[in-house]
């Protein structure tokens, strides 16, 4: 990691050290967002792309010049494509249909090959296909973001410590969206070492079923918010229900409205999972103000995982029914 005062030797050195920005706060509790659009690939997933690829190379799990085959909705693919390219590896990404085309174009521009699987099979279908492809290819490895502890480790070693440093350890609640769970679990483990009583609130779109892991009722239905949520709560091995205090749902409509508010009122060009995280963070801040939650500090931290530019073709700034594809 270099500082911004000296030249970086490669784009990989510019990953991380993203700004932590105060979001328009609720009286009585401050909200800060880690704005991950500042990474070179435009998302939080550059962090895991770098860490996973470099560690697997160092451990000999990927041979020099080998191939990685990864199931991804896009951002992990972009992050891994950057790292794979810099380390002279081939990359194949298995993507369920229906995710944003911009992310696929970026993966391809970075040298990745895209393989589609039907959207109905979700991420499980992509994981299965990635393993089949890796069997057929020579020297191929599936890093598998949903199972590798290196995903959590990337956040435990970078995102979490950066937040701790920026706030001098004064963190009351962590409110983060869950796809693989790597971001939430890694940040939580780093912060709990300094603030054992920090409140940890996971966020998913309404219609997703991760909350059943905490015994919460969930109504399974399709949702548009991209990058978080699941219809198979067992899809990831990186989420420990015991480490969570709460699991909240945010509707597509709430997330979409917040994406537009964040742009119009605060100058943040962020994607729908950031909108969902922001709504949830504001709810937690309101609960702290109302005295319904009593964390060790009146400070809520969230993450804005990616930017809105990769969702323009999906009408993220259109009316709600245009974004939903119903107009
Ligand atoms: N938001 C977006 C846009 C993402 O791409 C992801 C990763 N799927 C997440 C949130 C969730 O991150 P994590 O996988 O670390 O839970």
Q: How confident is the model at residue 4 (pLDDT cuts 50, 70, 90)?
A: low
What's the pLDDT score for residue 269?
Answer: 98
Q: Is the CB of 275 under 6 A from ligand 1?
A: no
Residue 5, pLDDT above cutoff 90 = no
Q: Whose CA is nearest to atom 1 of ligand 1?
A: 227
Residues of the chain with pLDDT > 70, as a percent, come to 99
| Pair 204, 211: CB distance under 8 Å | yes
What's the pLDDT score for residue 241?
Answer: 97
> Mean pLDDT throughout 301-314?
97
What's the pLDDT score for residue 268?
Answer: 98
Q: Is the CB of 205 under 6 A from ligand 1?
A: no
How many whole angstroms separate alpha carbon 249 and alpha carbon 245? 14
Is 45 in the active site? yes
Read off the pTM: 0.97
Q: Could you give phi then psi for residue 303, rounded to 5 degrees? A: -125, 135
Q: How far is CA 144 from CA 7, 223, 237, 275, in A?
A: 32, 24, 10, 26
What's the pLDDT score for residue 99?
Answer: 87
Query: How far does the centroid of ligand 1 lie from the alpha carbon of residue 291, in Å?
Result: 30
Give the number of the atom of ligand 1 that is nearest the alpha carbon of residue 74. 5
pLDDT tens string 156-175: 999 999 999 999 999 999 99
Give the number of the atom of ligand 1 that is nearest the alpha carbon of residue 178. 16
pLDDT tens string 64-114: 999 999 999 899 999 999 999 999 999 999 999 988 899 999 999 999 999
Q: Is the CB of 258 under 6 A from ligand 1?
A: no
Residue 2, pLDDT above cutoff 60 = no
Helical spans, DSSP H, in 138-224: 149-154, 160-166, 182-192
Q: How confident is the model at residue 30 (pLDDT cuts 50, 70, 90)?
A: very high
Query: How far does the centroid of ligand 1 lie from the alpha carbon of residue 6, in Å?
Result: 30
The overall average pLDDT reported for the chain is 96
CATH 3.40.50.1100 residue window(s) in the chain: 11-44+149-325, 45-141
Is 273 in the active site? yes
What's the pLDDT score for residue 200?
Answer: 98
Residue 189, pLDDT above cutoff 90 = yes
Residue 1, pLDDT above cutoff 60 = no
Q: Is the CB of 316 under 6 A from ligand 1?
A: no
Q: Which of 273, 274, 278, 308 is catalytic?
A: 273
Q: What's the Rg (C-alpha) of the chain?
A: 19
Q: Which CATH number fits domain 11-44+149-325: 3.30.70.20, 3.30.450.40, 3.40.50.1100, 3.40.50.970?
A: 3.40.50.1100
Q: Is the CB of 77 under 6 A from ligand 1?
A: no
Q: Is the CB of 71 under 6 A from ligand 1?
A: no
> Mean pLDDT throughout 304-310?
98
Q: Whose CA is nearest to atom 2 of ligand 1?
A: 227
Q: Is 181 left (phi over 0), alpha (psi -120 to 50) or beta?
A: left
What's the pLDDT score for residue 73?
Answer: 85
Q: Which of 45, 50, 224, 314 is catalytic?
A: 45
Query: How far does the centroid of ligand 1 lie from the alpha carbon of residue 5, in Å?
Result: 30
pLDDT tens string 247-301: 999 999 999 999 999 999 999 999 999 999 999 999 999 999 999 999 999 999 9
Residues of the chain with pLDDT > 90, as a percent, come to 93
Q: Is the CB of 305 under 6 A from ligand 1?
A: yes
What's the pLDDT score for residue 24?
Answer: 87
Q: Whose CA is nearest to atom 9 of ligand 1?
A: 227
Q: Domain 45-141: which CATH class?
A: alpha beta
């Amino acid at each position: 990691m270099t500082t911004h005062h000296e030249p970086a030797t490669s784009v990989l050195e510019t990953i991380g050290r993203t700004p932590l920005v105060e979001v328009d706060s609720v009286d009585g509790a401050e909200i800060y967002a880690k704005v991950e659009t500042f990474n070179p690939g435009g998302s939080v997933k550059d962090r895991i792309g770098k860490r996973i690829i470099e560690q697997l190379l160092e451990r000999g799990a990927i041979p020099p010049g080998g191939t990685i085959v990864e199931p991804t909705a896009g951002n992990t693919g972009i992050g891994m494509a950057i790292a794979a390219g810099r380390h002279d590896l081939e990359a194949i990404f298995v993507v369920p249909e229906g995710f944003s085309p911009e992310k696929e174009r970026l993966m391809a521009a970075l040298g990745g090959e895209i393989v589609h699987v039907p959207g109905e099979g979700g991420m499980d279908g992509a994981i299965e296909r990635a393993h089949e492809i890796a069997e057929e290819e020579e020297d191929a490895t599936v890093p598998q973001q949903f199972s590798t502890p290196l995903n959590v480790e990337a956040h435990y070693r970078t995102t979490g410590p950066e937040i701790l440093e920026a706030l001098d350890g004064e963190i009351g609640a962590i409110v983060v969206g869950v796809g693989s769970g790597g971001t939430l679990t890694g940040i939580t483990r780093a912060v709990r070492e300094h603030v054992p009583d920090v409140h940890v609130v996971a966020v998913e779109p309404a219609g997703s079923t991760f909350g059943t892991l905490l015994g919460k009722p969930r109504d399974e239905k399709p949702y548009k918010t991209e990058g978080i949520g699941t219809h198979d709560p067992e899809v990831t091995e990186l989420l420990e229900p015991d480490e969570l205090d709460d699991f909240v749902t945010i509707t597509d409509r709430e997330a979409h409205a917040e994406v537009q508010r964040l742009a119009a009122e605060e100058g943040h060009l962020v994607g729908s999972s950031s909108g969902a995280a922001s709504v949830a963070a504001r709810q937690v801040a309101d609960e702290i103000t109302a005295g319904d939650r009593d964390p060790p500090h009146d400070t809520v931290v969230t993450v804005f995982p990616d930017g809105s530019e990769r969702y323009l073709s999906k009408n993220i700034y259109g009316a709600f029914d245009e974004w939903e594809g119903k107009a």
